[in-house]
Amino acid sequence: MKIGIIGSGNIGATAARLFVKAGHHVGISNSRRGEGLDTLISELGSNAKAMSIEDAARFGDIVLIAIPFGKYETLPSDAFKGKVVIDAGNYYPDRDGKFPQLDNDEVTSSELLLAHLKEARLVKAFNTIWFQHLGTQGNSNLPLEDRRAIFIAGDDSQAKEIVAKLIEEIGFAAVDNGFLHEGGRNQQPGTEVYNKDLTPKTAATLLS
């Protein structure tokens, strides 16, 4: 499968390593149209390419967005049409600037991103796990019930199934947190599941 990655920071680069190891083809981008990614691409090997943000979005069957939330409106919205999009971002006011509709809890950051991306199939995921844990705690040899949980939320059930399978391929277990409005809210910084090492069973208990 082809996976586009928007953002080459901690989460983007770590996810790229995991996806390539699982046998996928990766197109990774940054704000400099892929410049400066030579060392990472050399590490990832022939299944990875550096490209512009728009090219990475059009390249991927799945597109992972891992950029600071405050920059979401810079994304070329048309390039994501019909794509399964993984939103790995979080809203941090001190970094991203103030968004009154988020501060007032009227909407979630994922809903704002989805409104910007035209006809994307958005799933909130990979935003509750520290990048170092993402890189080291996946274990495909464990049964699903014993793996670390990665939470997903979204309104497109088929898109969630696709993302859940990808999560399982890299050694984690996907836990469905519901629809985007409530599920995404329950995955925000400071919530009970944020940056917590949970199995699906302990997660279910916590969320019940």
**pLDDT 10s digits, 64-109:** 999 999 999 999 999 999 999 999 999 999 999 999 999 999 999 9
Q: How many helices (H) and strands (E) does the chain have?
A: 10, 8
- Please, what is the average pLDDT of the chain? 95
> For residue 156, what are the domain limits?
2-207
- What is the domain-level CATH number for residue 107? 3.40.50.720
Beta carbons of 52 and 29 less than 8 angstroms apart: yes
Report, as an integer, the average pLDDT of 20-47. 93
* pLDDT the model gives residue 206: 82
Q: How many domains in the chain?
A: 1
- CB burial of residue 97 (10 Å; 0-12, 13-18, 19+): exposed
Amino acid at 63: V
Tokens of 122: 């958005």
pTM of the model: 0.96
CA distance 75 to 118: 11
